[in-house]
C-alpha cells in the first residue's frame, strides 16, 4: 500500500483560516496508521489527528495517560506515510510539555521525525508560555479546552465542561488567552453548544468541536467511533457512519458531507 500522489495542495494553517473566513466547515478525524490515513486523505478530510486517544482505541486502556512520546512518534510516522493532502496534527502526550525546553524538544521531534504540521496540547492559560515558545519557533499549535482527557483524574471523570455560567466565562477567557499566546487552532471537547458557538464567533482562529455542537468552524471525531468499532459504548456526541454505508470509504464520505452541510452533529449528538 502506498499513498497515491494527490493533485490537490496540502492543507495548511492558512487554508484552515481561509475556511473559517469563508464559512466552510473544517473536517477532521483521528487516524493511527497509514492505511486508514490514506482513506481519509483520499476522501477529503482536511486534518488528520494522531490523537493520544490511541492509548484507548489502539492499546485498550481506560485513559490516555500511559501514552508515550515513542508511541506518538511511531503512529505519527505511519500516518504521515498515508497522507499527501490532509494536514497532519499530532497530540503531545501527558506530561510531555511540562517546561518550555521539554515542549520544544518533544514538539520538534514530532515535526522533524514524524512530519507533524501542527501539535495539539491540552490546558488553559497555564500553557500560554509553552504555546508562545512553540509558535515563536515555527511550530503551529492547536490548543485543547473543555474536557481535557489528560486531566481526567483531576476533574473526576469524562464529563461535560462549562455548564455553569462562571465555568463558561472561564473557558471563554482561557480560549482568548491561548489565541493571544499564538495558538493557531482551538479544539473544544464536550462543552455546551451555545458556549462553543460564542467562542467560535469571538475567536479569529478556527475552532474545531467534538461534543461541542454544530456552530464550530469544524468537527473532529475518533475514527473508530465513526466506524463503530470502539470497545464499549459510543459517546453521545459521536456517530457510527459505517452502519448505513457500504464501505469504509463511503462512511468517511458520509461523515465529511454531514460535517460540511452542518447535518452533523444533530441535536441528539449535542450538549446543552
Residues involved in catalysis: 189
Residue 71 makes contact with ligand KIV by CB under 6 A: no
Q: Which stretch binds ligand KIV (CB under 6 A): 6-14, 45-53, 165-173, 261-269?
A: 45-53
69: buried, middle or exposed (CB in 10 Å: 19+, 13-18, 0-12)?
middle
Please give the Cα distance from 116 to 110 (Å, whole number): 6
Phi, psi for 18 (deg, rounded to 5): -60, -40
Residue 91 makes contact with ligand KIV by CB under 6 A: yes
CB 73 to ligand KIV: min, Å = 15
Binding residue for ligand KIV, selected from 36, 37, 51, 93, defined by CB under 6 A = 51
Phi, psi for 155 (deg, rounded to 5): -95, -5
204: buried, middle or exposed (CB in 10 Å: 19+, 13-18, 0-12)?
exposed
How many of the chain's residues bind ligand KIV (CB under 6 A)?
A: 11
Task: Compute the chain's Rg from CA coordinates.
Answer: 17
Give the residue with the Cβ less far from ligand KIV, 51 or 206. 51
Q: Which residues contact 126 (CB under 8 A, 6 or more apart)?
A: none
Closest to 143 (Cα-Cα) out of 176, 187, 182, 107: 187
Residue 180 to residues 80, 118, 125, Cα–Cα distance (Å): 30, 17, 10
Contacts with ligand KIV, 176-215, as mask; x by CB under 6 A: -----------x-x--------------------x-----
Q: Which stretch binds ligand KIV (CB under 6 A): 32-40, 51-59, 225-233, 240-248?
A: 51-59
| Strand boundaries in the chain, DSSP class E | 26-30, 47-50, 87-91, 118-122, 141-146, 185-189, 207-210, 218-221
Binding residue for ligand KIV, selected from 52, 174, 217, 225, defined by CB under 6 A = 52
Please, which of residues 222-241 interact with ligand KIV by CB under 6 A?
222
Contacts with ligand KIV, 138-177, as mask; x by CB under 6 A: ----------------------------------------
Residue 269 makes contact with ligand KIV by CB under 6 A: no
Positions that interact with ligand KIV (CB under 6 A):
30, 49, 51-53, 91, 187, 189, 210, 220, 222
Amino acid at each position: 500500500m502506498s499513498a497515491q500522489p494527490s493533485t490537490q495542495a496540502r492543507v495548511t494553517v492558512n487554508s484552515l483560516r481561509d475556511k473559517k473566513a469563508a464559512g466552510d466547515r473544517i473536517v477532521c478525524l483521528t487516524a493511527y496508521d497509514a492505511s486508514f490515513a490514506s482513506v481519509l486523505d483520499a476522501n477529503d478530510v482536511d486534518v488528520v489527528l494522531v490523537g493520544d486517544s490511541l492509548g484507548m482505541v489502539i492499546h485498550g486502556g481506560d485513559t490516555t495517560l500511559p501514552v508515550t512520546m515513542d508511541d506518538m512518534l511511531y503512529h505519527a510516522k505511519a500516518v504521515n506515510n498515508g497522507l499527501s493532502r490532509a494536514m497532519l496534527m499530532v497530540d503531545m502526550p501527558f506530561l510531555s510539555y511540562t517546561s518550555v525546553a521539554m515542549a520544544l524538544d518533544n514538539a520538534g521531534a514530532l515535526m522533524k521525525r514524524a512530519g507533524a504540521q501542527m501539535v495539539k496540547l491540552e490546558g488553559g492559560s497555564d500553557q500560554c508560555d509553552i504555546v508562545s515558545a512553540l509558535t515563536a519557533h515555527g511550530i503551529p499549535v492547536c490548543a485543547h479546552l473543555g474536557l481535557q482527557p489528560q486531566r481526567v483524574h483531576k476533574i473526576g471523570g469524562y464529563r461535560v465542561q462549562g455548564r455553569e455560567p462562571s465555568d463558561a466565562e472561564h473557558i471563554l477567557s482561557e480560549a482568548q488567552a491561548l489565541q493571544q499566546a499564538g495558538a493557531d487552532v482551538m479544539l473544544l471537547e464536550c462543552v455546551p453548544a451555545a458556549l462553543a458557538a460564542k467562542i467560535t464567533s469571538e475567536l479569529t482562529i478556527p475552532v474545531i468541536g467534538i461534543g461541542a455542537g454544530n456552530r464550530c468552524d469544524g468537527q473532529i471525531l475518533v475514527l473508530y467511533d465513526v466506524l463503530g468499532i470502539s470497545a464499549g459504548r459510543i459517546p453521545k456526541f459521536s456517530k457510527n457512519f459505517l452502519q448505513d454505508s457500504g464501505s469504509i470509504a463511503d462512511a468517511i464520505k458520509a461523515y465529511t458531507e454531514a460535517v460540511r452541510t452542518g447535518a452533523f452533529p444533530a441535536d441528539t449528538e449535542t450538549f446543552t
